[in-house]
Amino acid sequence: MIKKVIGILLIAGALATGYYGIHQLNENSGASLKIGNVELGVTNTKERNQDYVYLGIAVLLLGGGIYVLTKK
């Protein structure tokens, strides 16, 4: 019973962390300026790397939740 609750909490945490990471990744996509046929873009790599860390944590939480739920 406790294992199921922990597994569900891990999966819920994975979904929340993944959603936050994707939302931040889309929000921090950077700015661009188009002049004629040339487009100049600027991104903040520090924030983008942090967003990828959130996605990585979400994958680990999801894997842990599935492992806990399927382990007998």
Instruction: Tell me the per-residue pLDDT of 5-60, one tens digit each, with 9 for 90 and over.
Output: 999 999 999 999 999 999 988 876 666 677 778 777 777 777 888 889 999 999 99
No. of H helices and E strands in the chain? 2, 2
How far is Cα 20 from Cα 4, in angstroms, rounded to an integer?
A: 24
Domain spans of the chain? 2-70
Strands (E), 8-55: 31-35, 38-42
| Global pTM value | 0.75
Terminal-residue alpha carbon distance, the chain: 12
Q: What residues contact 30, with CB distance under 8 A and at least 6 apart?
A: 41, 42, 43, 44
User: What pLDDT shows up at residue 49?
Assistant: 86
- Residue 28 is given by DSSP the state T
User: What pLDDT shows up at residue 30?
Assistant: 65
